[in-house]
Amino acid sequence: MAGSLDVELADGTGDDAYLTALAETLPGVLSASAPDLAIYLAGADSHEGDRLGRLCLTFEGLARRDVMVLDACREVGIPVVITIAGGYGRNIEDSVRVHLNTVRIATQY
């Protein structure tokens, strides 16, 4: 089912293209929707080592994603609920690492 704003990314999209698309899109979405609360589904399936995901983000890229989302919400005063999701890494340790990195980053806010 299509959302109200779908940003098409090619299979294999890496950190730079993904983060650029996020930076170009997220502020406008937050501004236009003016939510009372953001529910951030911090998925690990976009990691480059995931068996099912089609993106190729590194651990660093995913950490930058988390910071970008949390910073954007903070800038406009929106509280955030974070849920972890996905993560079908070839090595389960990779999925766990992605989720733990999100938790570590969130504790700084």
Q: How far from chain centre, in Å, is Cα 98? A: 11
Cβ-based neighbours of 8, under 8 Å, separated by 6 or more: none
CA 49, CA 64: separation in Å to the nearest integer? 17
CA 106, CA 109: separation in Å to the nearest integer? 6
Q: By three-state DSSP, how is residue 89 classified?
A: strand
For the stretch 98-109, pLDDT in tens is 999 999 999 998
pTM of the model: 0.93
Q: Given a cut of 80, is residue 94 above it in pLDDT?
A: yes
The answer to whether 2 and 45 have CB atoms below 8 angstroms apart is no
Give the model's confidence band at 2: pLDDT under 50 very low, under 70 low, under 90 confident, else very high. low
Cβ-based neighbours of 76, under 8 Å, separated by 6 or more: 30, 31
